[in-house]
Structure 1
């Protein structure tokens, strides 16, 4: 079963719902050579100032994969060419008092520049062993 199959994606959603998860986020682990793309949250946002991967909420009626493609383009201007793997998930408390599960996918993009930010303060291509201020969950995901 491939990571892009409807059955695999449905199993991710079903497992999260069974675990009592109230929100879903899809995240793209975009790499360029040995660096990963990180975006810095605006200071006045929830978790302001933290660096994160391109990610966003799965909207009603949208699959996790559809959200992955949409959010990557919306936040970076980059178009996903291939989803090459599912690299796991992590859960965190959200701003509404529930728990959000972030589903993380390794992707390749059609081209890595220019990165056009619409919701973040800055971007960088970071080496896994030289990460800026990221959450512990993101650090565990990116660091080999």
Structure 2
């Protein structure tokens, strides 16, 4: 499980760096594949695949937001947060400086995946070159190095 001190440190560093929006993302794995969700084409960065992810609400801490977002976006329940996989910064659709903190997680069950905010999902073999942004590719490379290796 992720230590509270790490969560507090990550949050403090982001705020000190002028980050306006905190976001969490999860690498959900199942039998050598990872869960990717496709954004609707009419959405911000529509058509791309991404990790289950979303905004941290006011008053929420990172691990709570991660559990909520994975549930909202995939219908899956996090069993455990096993590793911190780094972060990346980007500008949100509303122009906010955002930082996405990424974690490897286990889930209680991998099916059924129930989509509410995306139009498609896929389990992509971790050995494949997934159709994601370069930032997410970096997170997956770290996942391969730390978890799969």
TM over 0.5: yes
Bigger mean CA offset, 129-138 vs 50-59? 129-138
Q: TM-score scaled to structure 2, two decimals?
A: 0.91
Cross-structure match for 1:11: 9
Gaps of 5+ in 2: 145-149
Q: Distance in 2 between matches of 1:119 and 1:96?
A: 18
**1:27 correspondence with 2:21:** no
Cross-structure match for 1:39: 37
State the Cα distance separating 1:132 from its structure 2 match: 4.0
CA RMSD of aligned residues (A): 1.2
Are 2:130 and 2:137, in contact at CA under 8 Å, matched by a contact in 1? Answer: no
What SS does the corresponding residue of 2:100 show, helix, strand or coil?
A: strand
Displaced runs of 4 or more, over 3 A = none
> Which has more helix, going by share of residues?
2
Q: Distance in 2 between matches of 1:126 and 1:38?
A: 7
Gaps of 5+ in 1: none
What SS does the corresponding residue of 1:87 show, helix, strand or coil?
A: strand
Aligned length: 142
Q: TM-score scaled to structure 1, two decimals?
A: 0.94
Cross-structure match for 2:92: 94
Among 53, 56, 62, the alignment partner of 2:54 is 56
What SS does the corresponding residue of 1:120 show, helix, strand or coil?
A: coil
